[in-house]
Amino acid sequence: MAKKNQTLGEFIIENQSEFKYSSGELSRLINSIRLAAKVVNHEVNKAGLVDILGAAGDTNIQGEDQQKLDVYANNAFIKTLTNREIVCGIASEEEDDFITIRGRNEKNDNKYVVLIDPLDGSSNIDVNVSVGTIFSVYRRVTPSGTPVTIDDFLQPGNRQVAAGYIVYGTSTMIVYSTGHGVNGFTLNPAIGTYYLSHPNMRFPEDGNIYSVNEGNYVHFPQGVKDYIKYCQQEEDNRPYTARYIGSLVSDFHRNMIKGGIYIYPNTSKDPKGKLRLLYECNPMAYIAEQAGGSASDGTTRILDIDPTELHQRVPFFCGSKNMVKKAEEFMQKA
């Protein structure tokens, strides 16, 4: 049972028996993410004081400009997970290909791979808006002791054993699930410890917030346009409130607490969608479902999609269950 004000370390130890295939390895993995998050949080919070704002001058695999903090966060998480030798492979949104982790004897018997978006919403850093980290954990499917392959990473989201996000905002929080509900831990920066502040987080079944970049309205599918019009109508509990930060972690976090839907559809400019299935949509869909919410690509449950490539993109509808269901109805009618 989650107890408020319990430290994250205490919570991990107390609930270790709930982890499938429990051996302590997943606990150590979560602990490593906790450590890396504190390092990144420190840099994010002093971003205005040092030369880490703005673009790094390179682009990532998606052709997007890499921000300096993107590179820093990517290196911090990879270094922490690699040095502790608790995973056998890592895939990052910022890397072209997956990373194979070899042990000291060139053999790695660890069970888990991690997929990560090191700094989601980093373009907002320059204007002091909340950003985040998203992570996802799977058991490898290839034989233990052998190098990981692409098959270890191209698994549907319903095989995740853990997922979570860190939000670097007015306070820094880790929110994660290992398949037994969702809990949020807030960092006390004075002593560097995370405390359970949001036990058993749940999406309200209904909400009154819709989060979508309406600047792309003319490029949206007709079903999304119709749903937005529905949200704006004077009827029942409507019109809904439009809230869009532009950082997935921040928008998702607010909607889980207050009730709402986040939509990033395919467009005429991006017919396959923009968000990454493995680094953003799967982990967020896992958390949403664990918190009583829902997530789909407009027709199909996100967690049931079979990935075909490491940087695959999909449309994303995620949030309060009844709101996602209504949006899907409009997609089907169009």
Q: Which residues are annotated as a binding site for Mg(2+)?
A: 93, 117, 119-120, 280
User: Is residue 134 classed as helix, strand or coil in its secondary structure?
Assistant: strand
Token output for 35: 């450590």
- Would you give the end-to-end CA distance of the chain in angstroms? 45
Looking at 1-88, which runs of residues are DSSP E strands? Answer: 55-59, 65-67
* Residue carrying the six token digits 């290839």: 142
Half-sphere exposure of 43 (CA within 13 A, CB side): 20
CA dist 170 → 50, 130, 152, 167, 321 (Å): 19, 8, 36, 9, 28
Question: Which residues does the annotation place in the binding site?
Answer: 93, 117, 119-123, 213, 244, 274, 280
For 164-295, where are the alpha helices, taking DSSP H only?
A: 222-232, 248-258, 282-290
Cβ proximity of 259 and 209 under 8 Å = yes
Contact 161, 20 (CB under 8 A): yes
3-class SS of residue 97:
coil
| The pair of three-digit structure tokens given for residue 45, joined into one six-digit string | 């919070």
Q: Which residues are annotated as a binding site for substrate?
A: 120-123, 213, 244, 274
CA distance 205 to 152: 34
